Amino acid sequence: MPKKILIVDDEEHIRFLYSEELAEEGYQVITAESGFRLLERIEEEKPDLVVLDIKMVDFNGLDILQDIRNKYYDLPVILCTAYDTFKEDMKSIAADHYVIKSFDLTELKSRIAQALDSGLTE
């Protein structure tokens, strides 16, 4: 069964790019364009991992991260951002990883693989 990844980003081209590339890696990808009713979406879809944009027009990704963590403390979350200033906010330490947005998804793919790994040796 492929692992399910939820991409949360308000930029359509980013959702498209991530969906295409991650689907090629064998993941099942679903998307959301905002943080609106995101917890309900997570409850319904039960993703294995969330890729979360920090700066969306109507939502602060770090607040969403906090909401996710309060309810699903074992759900891996990777933060995506154009700038690394978000690290000044202590909430950011609740994320599994962060990646700087880029059209080269090598780093993101590597972080996703690591976060989905159980962390245990066989």
Partner 1 sequence: MQVREINPEGVTEADVVIGIPSYNEAANIAFPTLKANEGLIRYFGKRRSVIINCDNNSDDDTPNVFLATATDVPKICLLTEPGVRGKGNNLRNLFRKALELGARSVAVVDADLKSITPQWIKHLAEPLDNDFGFVTPLYVRHKYDGTITNSIAYPLTRCLYGRRVRQPIGGDFGFSGNMAEIFNLANHWSPYVGNFGIDIWMTTLAMNHSIPICQSFMGRPRIHKPKAAEHTSGALFREVVGAVFEMMIPYAPFWKRIRHSRPTSIYGFGLGESEMPPPVNVNQAALYDRMAEGFKTCLDLWREIFSDDVYGQILDARSASLDRFDFPIRTWVRVLFETAVAFKKSPAQDRDRLLEALAPLYYGKTLSFVRKTERMTIQQTEEFIENECVVFEENKPYLVERWPL
Residues that bind partner 1 (CB under 8 A): 66, 69-70, 73-74, 76, 87-88, 90-91, 93-96, 114, 117, 119-121
CB of 23 to partner 1, least distance (A): 25
* Residue 36 and residue 62 in contact, taking contact as beta carbons nearer than 8 Å: no
* Residue 28 and residue 5 in contact, taking contact as beta carbons nearer than 8 Å: yes
Strand (E) or helix (H) holding 22: helix 12-24
Is the CB of 45 or the CB of 84 nearer to partner 1? 84
Helix axes 106-116, 12-24, angle to 10 degrees: 60
Is the CB of 70 or the CB of 102 nearer to partner 1? 70
CB of 94 to partner 1, least distance (A): 5
Tell me how far apart the alpha carbons of residues 67 and 7 are, in angstroms, rounded to a whole number. Answer: 16
CB of 114 to partner 1, least distance (A): 6
